[in-house]
Each structure stands twice: as C-alpha cells, then as structure tokens.
Structure 1
C-alpha cells in the first residue's frame, strides 16, 4: 500500500507539472482574477498535511488567513516537496508555502517573503543514544530529499551513510523500523511525531537553526510585499499566536 501511495503522489506531481502553465502574475493581475494559487506538499505534519481529503496544518491555515487579509480567494496545489520550487520558477503557481528554510542557494532561484516561523533541524533517535552532532559519527542517518536537513547532514564529518527519502514520513519510518540510527527533521515535526509515539523516539540536539518563509518567483516584489504586509497584520491581530499554539503549543515566530 505504501508503494502505491508513493506512486500516486509521484504521478500527481507529474500531472501537476504537465498541466497547462499558469503564468507568473503580479499582485495587480492576481487581484484582477480575485484568486491566488498556492502550493504546498501536504505530507509534513503539523505544518501541511491531509486530514482525510482536506488539506490542513499550521502553514495551510496561516496562508489562508493571510490571503483573507489580502482580500483574495485561494486555490491549493499539493505535490512532492522537490517539485514545488521548480514549479514556481516555471510559473505554475503564485506562491509556495511548505516549510522552506531560507538559504543562500535557494535565494538565487526564488524570492522569499518575510519568515513565518523559526525552527531548525534536530537529531532524533529511538533510544536517545544518538543525541549530539558528535554522536552521528559512524551512524546511518535519514533525511528528506531536497531539504536543508539532508544538506546539513551531508556536511557532518564521520557519518557512515546518509539515506535520503522522498517524504519526511518515509525518513521517520526508516528510524522507527530500525533501518537507520537517526533521523534529522524539523523540531516541531519531530515533537509531533513523538507525541504520537512517545516510547519510540527521543529528541536530541539541534543540528542547525533556520528561518522559514514562503516563496514567490524571483522578481515578483509586488506579490511578496503584499504578502509580507498581510502576514504582519495576521501576526499583530492574534491570529498567528492562536494558530501557532493550536499546532505547536507555543508561539514560533522569529524573535
């Protein structure tokens, strides 16, 4: 079943990327249409995930609140993580919100908005024996393809092997099934997983800290500016705090 599920996700990504192109639009063009096209992964709880047939999560509800402030309607696209920024550059949607950490390399390809939360990659093991960066030496470590977690794990000297997986849930499953010694993921994702399986995982140290933001096509400053303004309003009126505490039990905005 898992193989079929992953095949369906992969096919959905292919079909999404082969669909008729939606040209990158300025803020005025989006306002004229009345609807913004948003893209996310849908496999990354508590930030973006499927609850039955409904897309939900902290980033999903936050994005919808921001769009409401902008006076727009929204349409969601859900597809594989590594296809999101590529599709944005190819003008297939207006904005991506999927826990992308701001990096120098990504900033060359897309325009990031103001960060909507700060977190970082943490080390997770089954019994707590792999806790620090030093503990990763000689170990097999799992991380999701195309993420800052995977890129940062690769930089750690002495690791026996880095195994990359198409979805973060696959990387986590590799840990819980004993196929790897550690899993590196977002702190809040790891906390959520541990709440569901408290006896099966132990949280270790941060591997790195990062700011996380939405992204628009390079040069689309009108849309980025409007998004930042609406996000600031959502952060000021109590909506952000309520959503953050609902999903993470704390305020996760960047200090």
Structure 2
C-alpha cells in the first residue's frame, strides 16, 4: 500500500525540522507568493499515497482543488505523520491535509479547519479473532504510531499489549503474520486494504469511535483558516467534493450531521 520513498525523501522532513524555525506565512504573504505549501504523509491509502512516483489520493486531489479555488499553485511536502505537528509549529508549510482527526490534545498545538470527512476507527482481525471492543480484552493490538487510533486503543480496558508501527501497511503485515491479533485504523483504510488483499483471511469488525477529520494549520492564523474553509465549502457546493468522494469511496464521506 505504501510506495517506498527515496532516502532523500525520507530524510528531508527531519532535516527541515533540525534546520530551525522558518518565517510564518499569513494569508497575504501566501497570496502574494502565488503558491501555498501543504504537507501530507504519502502512505495512507486511499487518502494520500504514491502510485509509482506520483503522489495521489483523495486528500491530495482535494488539496489541489482547494489551491485552485484560491487561485494558487500548490507545493507538496511529504512529511511522516508523527512529525507533522512539530514541523507545522516551525512553519515548514502552510497547512497539512493528512487525515488528522480532531483531538483536544492536538488542538493545544495546532488549529483545525472545518472537517473534510467523517470516519471512524475500525477493528480488523481474522474471522475467528477479536472483532468487537469487548473481544479485544487479553489480546495484542497493532496501530500506527502517533494516531488517534493508537490513543483510542490505550483507552480500551483489558488489551494485553499495544504494538505501534510506522504506518498502517506495517500494522496490517503484522496482523497477517500473526504478530498481533487485531489492527485498529481508519475504516476507509481498512476497507481499501482488505479489498486489495481478499485472500488474507482478515475481515472488518466494529467501529471503536467516530472521528471528524480536518486540515491543520498553525494556531491563530485565522485569515488563512477562513480561506481554506471557504474554498472547501465552495468545492462542496459546486460538486467537486462529491465527485472526488465518489471516485475514491463510491459514497459521500462528508460530515453531514
């Protein structure tokens, strides 16, 4: 599911963070530059991932559509998910669109735009395995590091052990190899993974929680947040959002309630 990135691609985010703070960019600076800089992970199919050397996915295409609405070019930064909050606080990019679910802890560090989809954390396991929250008692569970799914797993009583992995592909591989007994991730990622691996013997179980997912940006950058929110609203009105949602999920995944 994750396309291997080059050493330089993988090392760049760390080099950027170690380089020290950059100048913050308010909306007027972004607008006058003609380019908005966005970060994503590049390893979270079907939201942001590589097809060969091409970065694509629902959030990638949505981010590019938002930039067009704003009359701007878009420059992508591919940054590991667990490094994005720190890099954003150091103004390494203007916003991130990488499936950040809202949490009170994250909101202490960054601001959230309006949600661009709603989802939930879902259990996946073998057909005879733990497919409900109650059944996870006494079991070993795999999750991606620094995600809301990892946080949710920590709150489930009775789990024997939580093993963290760099990404969902690694967590899924651990489940297939019986290194863990269940995997918790985004319900759409679980579906896409199982659709691509129909002979793996893994099935989807219950939702652990419901999640509202948004772009994140530096705190108190209100005008930029307003522009992102307006562009997203415009895309929802003109049918662009629905078309992208149908393309990747065959349904509208917006937060309608």
**Shorter-chain-normalised TM-score: which range?**
over 0.9
Correspondence for 2:232 = 231
Provide Cα deviations, 1:184-210, integer angstroms capped at 9, x if missing partner. 000000000011012321000000001
Distance 1:192 1:137 in 2: 26
1:91-130 alignment runs, 5 A limit: 91-130=91-130
Per-residue deviation, 1:6: 9.4
Report SS of the residue matched to 1:193: helix
Correspondence for 1:240 = 241
Distance 1:6 1:168 in 2: 19
Correspondence for 2:44 = 44
Q: Which runs of 4+ in 1 moved over 4 A?
A: 4-10
- Sort the Cα spacing of 1:180 and 1:5 in 2 relative to 1 into closer, same or farther, 3 A: farther
Distance 1:229 1:150 in 2: 32
1:1-255 alignment runs, 5 A limit: 10-19=10-19, 21-200=21-200, 201-255=202-256
Report SS of the residue matched to 1:63: helix
**How much is the aligned-residue C-alpha RMSD, in angstroms?**
1.7
Where in structure 2 are there 5+ consecutive unaligned residues?
none
TM-score of the pair, normalised by structure 2:
0.94
Bigger CA drift: 167-176 or 187-196? 167-176
Report SS of the residue matched to 1:44: coil
Per-residue deviation, 1:22: 3.8
Per-residue deviation, 1:162: 0.2
Distance 1:9 1:161 in 2: 32
- Sort the Cα spacing of 1:7 and 1:174 in 2 relative to 1 into closer, same or farther, 3 A: farther
Distance 1:207 1:239 in 2: 30
- Sort the Cα spacing of 1:253 and 1:214 in 2 relative to 1 into closer, same or farther, 3 A: same
Contact 1:122-1:185 at 8 Å conserved across structures: yes
Per-residue deviation, 1:19: 4.7
Provide Cα deviations, 1:116-157, integer angstroms capped at 9, x if missing partner. 000010000022521110010010000011100001001111
Distance 1:190 1:8 in 2: 29
Distance 1:235 1:84 in 2: 26
TM-score of the pair, normalised by structure 1:
0.95
- Sort the Cα spacing of 1:52 and 1:253 in 2 relative to 1 into closer, same or farther, 3 A: same
